């Protein structure tokens, strides 16, 4: 939907026009080409850095307009000094963030083209080509816009930047690395498109249709409609859906990237896809309720992840399963006190209709284990407000029944910056969701340990011997402000994290 910026890689050399971006390391200052240019400019760059107290911290930028005295073949209309941070601290994640800063500085600046002179600095752990690819990845992630419903934009808010080039030694290496990252960014953009969409547009049926369109990208897509779900006995999911005029769907995306694998069992990802969460009869307060259009962000992340894996032809067999419902109050809605029979056969007393995510996931988790026999299941959900209280927006909550799985996920979080903090699972919490008339109730009597209670509830739907992790993204999936890699709005949290997890913990072995 975004016409999109172009990201290209070329041999070293000064550009003819546009913005010229020079890297500045916090510990080393300008690189060799930057110093040559500064000499030609009579020391203007060093003087500007001093005057602005520019130190080269990662993501710091300083823009010098209409520079005079540039070498003959170069008519750049501005020079942007870009902080790289300390060279020894430069890794994929920080390089990407630096790339994001280029877009942040120039997107609506009037500049149409930018050229980054990608130099090598002493002590850099990445090659210049790798760093350029990661910077381009970050730049692309930061360039996302959701403009579908904007018919009037003030001219000075309209983006001008359409192309960024990295002038770097071994541009073919950078291009090759970027083509993988570009597929991941495609997945991130798909997730952001889904999550940003309002709930009147993105109903469960429309979400399922968008999943179907991924067949062209090498995924097999199966959609179960209301009749199929009822026939199957998915009573927990159906109970949530029954108050809405928009019927539920369950979508299974299958990707076979490793047909010769010794273990035929797939890795499974399951997403909470509540296209709107009003709370149902246990209705939410009006203030902020509009945020609940993104209560399908777990499902959005699973779909974007599957698109990314297929797009970069990951060597893995994976399934993605999303439970899609709308949680609404109406004369047909589920009431507090209702008892539903889940697909697993376990009965649930629904005390609070606003604890609907766990009901949807219960049946989705059961179905993925019945239909796909995965060795490992990872669910992603905007499950609890309590996780926002506990961890804010810097970490998502992680729960796992397996220590090595938890460690792998935490490591992927560190590498991508989509960080996780592990919280406990413990039988001692189970007594809080004992019901007087059914196998369990869906909430505890008070708000204590709300995220853990949610995870304990989900664990009841995991079969013995299945490795399982639950990631609560309620605090991390939507950003109220711009960050290095994300304009404000949907972050697509989980796509880069789980893509990294697949690459490091499955494909590498
Ligand atoms: N979708 C919400 C959780 C949520 C809250 C996500 C805020 C993002 C921001 C979930 O369905 C919900 O309503 N959870 C309840 C559970 C409670 C009733 C046990 C909550 O967190 O209040
Ligand atoms: Mn809810
Ligand atoms: Zn919800």
Q: What is the pLDDT of residues 324-363, one digit of tens each?
A: 999 999 999 999 999 999 999 999 999 999 999 999 999 9
Work out which ligand 1 atom sits closest to the CA atom of 279.
13
Q: Decide whether any atom of ligand 1 lies within 6 Å of the 355 Cβ.
A: yes
**pTM over the 0.75 mark:** yes
Q: Decide whether any atom of ligand 1 lies within 6 Å of the 384 Cβ.
A: yes
* pLDDT given for residue 244 in this prediction: 99
- The first and second tokens of residue 266, run together, are 């797939």
Residue 459 · residue 366 · CB < 8 Å: no
Q: What is the pLDDT of residues 106-133, one digit of tens each?
A: 999 999 999 999 999 999 999 999 999 9
Q: Which residues pair with 166 in a beta bridge?
A: 9, 116
d(CA 217, CA 442): 38
Q: Is pLDDT above 50 for 492? A: yes
* pLDDT given for residue 32 in this prediction: 95
- 293 in active site: no
Note the helical H segments in 288-383.
Answer: 297-311, 357-372
Q: What is the pLDDT of residues 224-279, one digit of tens each?
A: 999 999 999 999 999 999 999 999 999 999 999 999 999 999 999 999 999 999 99
- The first and second tokens of residue 464, run together, are 């013995």
From the list 381, 272, 285, 287, the residue with the least C-alpha distance to 321 is 272
Place of tokens 């926002």: 388
Apex 439 CA angle, 375 and 390, nearest 5 = 65
d(CA 15, CA 117): 9
d(CA 462, CA 439): 15
pLDDT band at 3 (very low <50, low <70, confident <90, very high): low
CA 332 to chain centre: 35
d(CA 45, CA 63): 10
Per cent of the chain over pLDDT 70 is: 99
Q: Which residues pair with 20 in a beta bridge?
A: 79, 115
Q: Is pLDDT above 90 for 2? A: no
From ligand 2's centre to the CA of 494, what distance in Å?
20
Q: Decide whether any atom of ligand 1 lies within 6 Å of the 195 Cβ.
A: no
Place of tokens 């916090």: 26
If you average pLDDT over every residue of the chain, what do you get?
A: 97
- 358 in active site: yes
Place of tokens 């109970």: 239
Apex 43 CA angle, 40 and 48, nearest 5 = 130
* pLDDT given for residue 156 in this prediction: 83
């Amino acid at each position: 939907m975004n016409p999109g910026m172009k990201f290209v890689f070329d041999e070293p050399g000064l550009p003819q026009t546009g913005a010229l971006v020079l890297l500045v390391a916090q510990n080393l200052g300008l690189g060799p080409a930057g110093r040559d240019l500064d000499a030609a400019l009579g020391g203007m760059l060093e003087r500007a850095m001093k005057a602005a107290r520019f130190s080269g911290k990662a993501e710091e930028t300083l823009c010098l307009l209409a520079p005079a005295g540039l070498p003959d073949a170069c008519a750049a209309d501005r020079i942007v000094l870009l902080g790289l941070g300390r060279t020894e601290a430069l890794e994929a994640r920080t390089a990407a963030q630096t790339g994001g800063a280029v877009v942040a500085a120039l997107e609506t600046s009037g500049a149409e083209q930018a050229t980054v002179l990608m130099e090598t600095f002493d002590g850099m752990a990445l090659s210049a080509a790798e760093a350029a690819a990661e910077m381009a990845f970050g730049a692309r992630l930061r360039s996302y816009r959701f403009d579908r419903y904007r018919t009037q934009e003030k001219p000075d808010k309209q983006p001008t930047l359409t192309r960024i080039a990295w002038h770097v030694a071994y541009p073919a290496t950078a291009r090759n690395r970027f083509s993988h990252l570009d597929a991941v960014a495609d997945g991130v953009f798909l997730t952001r498109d889904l999550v940003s969409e309002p709930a009147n547009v993105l109903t469960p049926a429309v979400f399922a249709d968008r999943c179907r369109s991924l067949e062209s990208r090498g995924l097999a897509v199966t959609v179960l409609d209301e009749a199929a779900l009822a026939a199957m006995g998915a009573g927990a999911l159906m109970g949530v859906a029954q108050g809405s005029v928009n019927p539920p769907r369950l979508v299974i995306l299958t990707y076979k990237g490793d047909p010769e694998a010794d273990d035929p069992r797939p890795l499974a990802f399951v997403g909470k896809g509540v296209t709107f969460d009003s709370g149902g009869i246990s209705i939410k307060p009006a203030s902020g309720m509009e945020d609940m259009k993104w209560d399908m962000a777990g499902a959005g992340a699973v779909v974007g992840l599957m698109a990314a894996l297929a797009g970069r032809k990951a060597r893995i067999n994976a399934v993605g399963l999303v439970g899609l419902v709308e949680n609404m109050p109406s004369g047909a809605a589920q009431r507090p006190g209702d008892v539903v029979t889940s697909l697993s056969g376990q009965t649930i007393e629904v005390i609070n209709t606003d604890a609907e995510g766990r009901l949807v996931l219960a049946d989705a988790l059961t179905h993925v284990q019945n239909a796909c026999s995965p060795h490992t299941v990872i669910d992603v959900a905007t499950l609890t407000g309590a996780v926002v209280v506990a961890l804010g927006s810097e970490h998502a909550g992680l729960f796992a029944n397996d220590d090595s799985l938890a460690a792998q996920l935490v490591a992927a979080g560190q590498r991508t910056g989509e960080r996780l903090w592990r919280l406990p699972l413990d039988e001692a919490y189970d007594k809080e969701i004992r019901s007087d008339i059914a196998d369990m109730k869906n909430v505890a009597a008070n708000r204590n340990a709300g995220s853990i209670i949610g995870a304990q509830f989900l664990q009841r739907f995991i079969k013995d011997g299945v490795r399982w992790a639950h990631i609560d993204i309620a605090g991390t999936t939507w950003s109220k402000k711009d960050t290095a890699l994300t304009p404000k709005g949907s972050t697509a949290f989980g796509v880069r994290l789980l893509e990294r997890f697949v690459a490091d913990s499955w494909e590498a072995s």
